[in-house]
């Protein structure tokens, strides 16, 4: 028996799909296309950056907005920076190497098994 009213049932059919984050804060990940690595320090359940940022991505590789997006303390062979990456473009980093980013020590403690532990002062 459906407990939703006709209006509630219609709203449920039109609701956006529920997306679940595949990764967690502290996970070390790698960008699927560009190869850079990073540690996740925040997660948006759906796209939450500027329209200009989104439109600057080439259309043929532009990700869907309706998925988790991750804030990373990132590094490549040349620099450390902050990146904003869609879930579809991240994979688990299996190098077992820590990330070399100057902001790591301010947010995270120990690194073990591909994950950083969040410092207690930053937990909600």
pLDDT tens sequence across 94-110: 999 999 999 999 999 99
Residue 76 falls inside a structural domain:
yes
Transcribe 40-83 into DSSP letters.
EEEEESS--S-HHHHHTS-GGGPPPSSS-EEEEEEE-SS-EEEE
Instruction: Write the pLDDT tens digit of every residue in 16-75.
Output: 555 799 999 999 999 999 999 999 999 999 999 999 999 999 999 999 999 999 999 999
Per-residue confidence (pLDDT) for residue 2, from 0 to 100: 46
C-alpha 25/C-alpha 14 separation (Å) is 30
Q: What is the pLDDT of residue 18?
A: 57
Least confident residue range of 4-18, 48-62, 69-83, 106-120: 4-18
Per the domain annotation, does 2 fall within a domain? no
Any domain includes 14:
no
> Rounded CA gap, 79 and 95, in Å?
18
Per-residue model confidence (pLDDT) at position 16: 57
pLDDT at 3 over 90: no
Q: Is residue 90 part of a domain?
A: yes
Q: Confirm whether 6 is domain-assigned.
A: no
In a domain, residue 1? The reply is no
Residue 100 lies in a domain: yes
92 found inside a domain = yes
How many structural domains compose the chain? 1
Residue 106 DSSP code:
H
Distance from C-alpha of 13 to C-alpha of 55, rounded to nearest angstrom: 29
Q: Calculate the CA dihedral of residues 98, 37, 39, 110 and round it to 10 degrees.
A: 0
53: containing domain: 22-122
The CATH number given to whatever domain includes residue 61 is 2.30.30.390
**Nearest-CA neighbor of 27 among 78, 68, 63, 57?**
68
Question: pTM for the full model?
Answer: 0.81
Selection from 112, 109, 89, 98 nearest residue 34 by Cα: 89
């Amino acid at each position: 028996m459906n407990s939703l009213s006709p209006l509630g049932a219609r709203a449920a059919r039109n609701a956006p799909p529920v997306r679940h984050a595949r990764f967690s804060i502290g996970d070390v990940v790698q960008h699927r296309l560009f190869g850079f690595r990073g540690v996740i320090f925040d997660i948006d359940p759906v796209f939450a950056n500027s329209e200009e940022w989104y439109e600057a991505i080439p259309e043929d590789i532009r990700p869907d907005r309706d998925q988790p997006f991750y804030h990373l303390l990132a590094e490549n062979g040349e620099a450390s920076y902050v990146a904003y990456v869609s879930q579809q473009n991240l994979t688990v980093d299996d190098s077992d190497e820590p990330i070399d980013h100057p902001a790591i020590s301010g947010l995270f403690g120990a690194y073990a098994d591909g994950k950083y532990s969040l410092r207690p002062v930053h937990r909600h």
